Chains A and B, each alone.
Chain A
């Protein structure tokens, strides 16, 4: 695939003004959505007889107040970055990967097996364990990709079903074949040779953050600078047109899902190899589902996904301090996150309505070709 990339060409021509304006306008909706969510949140917090500014102060302090909190926020963002990238990449091909949760479980399973069962030199062992994690997620995601491409099965439905199969299968593996002798259902610890190194002594920050940022760069380059990325976006924009243009839509769908699953698998693997070192039941607090919100807030771009993941990670980390200081429950931040997502939809809907009104004015007729996705 040697398709020429029009937008990359435009960007390289050095017109910085429009590019900056583009970034500003794409940031506008998320920023407004976040502000609106915090404003509504402050009213609710006020009703609960807690000073909202004080609560948000504690939230901020808990998220970034000192080195320990800041690194905790970064560490909790790592799986969200990986899983968010997984959703983002699939979304660009108009494929909904709701299965990141199951894929990260399978990634964690294979990573923990490689990290405990294999005997390899340090470094190589880590790479092999990460590769196993990526492969686990990738294979698990390729199945719904294949079923979508070949059998026309809705990937939303198949990925949800496969989440449960993965979660219960992993639970079985933890309870029986991989169980560490002892009372608790858990695997034994990943060997030191397969662990992600700690970056700052005395904190929990591990090298997974570097891998996550690198993965974002790879996704960005893949989407904007490669033939495959162009094909992915073509399939995402219009499957029919892509098919007429000679793109193998089925192959692109399967490959996109496999890559998406690899990213989700790395979300699980990085958590196991960098933080927990062993696999327990229910080790994910729902990163695979949060990833959908992360990708949305990040406007399904690689950079945006990083920002969205950091935002979600900061909220979840800060919530603990907020609870301890003000008595507000940790789930208060879920309220804010949910509002952000709904305000993002409302913002896109407002845009959608305004654009159709403008177009109607221009054309003088009712233009029906506005498309159906009110989110991107």
Chain B
């Protein structure tokens, strides 16, 4: 117990938690736009993985991780566009479309990497983001090293939270987006273009998830591996639910998942006999219990339901 307290209280652990949380945070903030518009963000995994490869290739060929970041956003956006076309235009089942795209993304990224570098056992590296020490703040005791010595996409992730709150709750556009997810029929009657709102929400989720993916291949490490996202897109999806579909809640949830991840790495690295598996299980159990206690009232009412324009039949 004292060992685990020692880990939890170390500045190193706090720093690592923020690091591990940030790819999840970027993807989950994006996913919020999709979910609040009424479309399950089950495709985050594929969008993130595409971003991971695109960031690597963009950075490798241009020599700049910034180009990689743009490429990552674009790649995530393209996957999102396909998901949107399937779910919104063709009203395909969202689960099926997402499963197809997620499998496709694993194959496409693997093939593209092979196409770029051939059969090789040589480890290819691309320029990665370097930590930005925020002037003055990074020299503060304790807080400085924990909060102000991160990579650019990490800051971006955290700065996004207030932006997302503002956009979703303080703008007309945000109201329209949420109305498409709560009651698309009523929204349409009031002149909201539901299908366009859903397309936009999904594409934003792709852009941000792609950028989240860039942290994996041109951030914390500077190489690409097959299936590198390892389920982080699904964790981001869970974080949105844990956060009750609100930006603040989602933010806190990604921090919790990030901390659990960081703790797991510490425990393994130090060889401590702590059943970290139960700690990793805990956030999901808590999410499920919260859902059971509060019921479905928190989710956007039309989440997961395809919408047919002008009063089509809905279950």
Nearest chain B residue, comparing its CB with the CB of A166: B281
Query: Does A345 count as interface, using CB distance less than 8 angstroms?
Result: yes
Alpha-carbon gap, A25 to B82, bound state (A): 27
Task: Give the A-B pair count, Cβ closer than 8 A.
Answer: 188
Contact A158 B277 (CB under 8 A): no
CB distance B99 to A329 under 8 Å? no
Per-residue interface assignment for chain B, residues 282 to 315, with 1 indicating a CB less than 8 Å from any chain A CB and 0 otherwise: 0011011001100110010001111010111111
Whole-angstrom distance between the Cβ of A326 and the nearest chain B Cβ: 9
For residue A171, CB closer than 8 A to chain B, the reply is yes
Chain A stretch 322-346: residues in CB contact (< 8 A) with chain B: 327-342, 344-346
Contact B91 A48 (CB under 8 A): no
Partner of B241, one of A157, A238, A342, A371: A157
Query: A334 contacts B305, CB within 8 Å?
Result: no
Contact A372 B308 (CB under 8 A): yes
Question: Contact flags (1/0) for B80-103 with A, using CB distance below 8 Å?
Answer: 001000100011110111011111
Known: A151-B295, A332-B110, A342-B100. A372 touches B91 (CB 8 A): yes
1/0 per residue, CB under 8 A from B, across A142-172: the answer is 0000010001111011101110110011011
Beta-carbon contact of A293 and B100 below 8 Å = yes
Q: Which residues of B contact A290 (CB under 8 A)?
A: 103
**Pick the contact of A368 from B91, B110, B308 — CB < 8 Å?**
B308
List of B residues within 8 angstroms of A147 by Cβ: 291-292
Contact with A along B97-116 (1 / 0, CB 8 A): 10111111111111101110
Residues from chain B with Cβ under 8 Å of A176 in the complex: 275
Q: For the complex, is B22 an interface residue (Cβ under 8 Å from A)?
A: no
Q: How many residues of A contact B (CB 8 A)?
A: 61
Distance, CA A169 to CA B281, complexed state (A): 7
Q: Name B107's contact: one of A337, A346, A368, A370 (CB within 8 Å).
A: A337
Say yes or no: is B270 at the interface (Cβ < 8 Å to chain A). no
Shortest CB–CB separation between residue A365 and chain B, in angstroms? 13
Q: For the complex, would chain B's binding face be called helix, strand, loop or mixed by DSSP majority?
A: helix
- Are A334 and B104 closer than 8 Å at their CB atoms? yes
Whether A331 lies near B299 (C-beta < 8 A) is: no
CB-based contact A375/B292 at 8 Å: no
Those of A54-91 within 8 Å (CB) of chain B: none
What is the 8 Å Cβ interface bit string for chain B, positions 233-247, against chain A (1 contact, 0 not)? 010011001000000
Is A311's beta carbon under 8 Å from chain B?
no
Cα-based distance from A168 to B305 in the complex (angstroms):
31
- In angstroms, Cα B96 to Cα A152, docked, is 21
A153 to chain B, nearest CB (A): 6
Known contacts A153-B296, A375-B93; A48/B99 CB under 8 A: no
- From the candidates B90, B292, B308, B310, name the one contacting A151 in the complex (CB within 8 A): B292
Q: Which residues of A contact B (CB under 8 A)?
A: 44, 47-48, 96, 98, 147, 151-154, 156-158, 160-162, 164-165, 168-169, 171-172, 175-176, 238-239, 289-290, 292-293, 296, 327-342, 344-346, 348-349, 352, 368-375
Q: Apart from A151-B292, A165-B285, what are 14 other A-B pairs with CB-CB below 8 Å?
A: A154-B299, A161-B241, A164-B281, A168-B284, A289-B103, A293-B99, A334-B107, A338-B104, A340-B100, A345-B96, A348-B90, A349-B86, A368-B308, A372-B313
- Would you mind naming 29 contact pairs between A and B with Cβ atoms under 8 Å apart? A96-B95, A153-B295, A154-B304, A158-B288, A160-B234, A160-B237, A161-B238, A161-B284, A161-B291, A164-B238, A165-B288, A169-B278, A172-B277, A176-B275, A292-B96, A293-B103, A329-B110, A334-B107, A335-B111, A341-B100, A342-B82, A342-B97, A349-B86, A349-B90, A368-B310, A368-B312, A369-B313, A374-B90, A375-B93
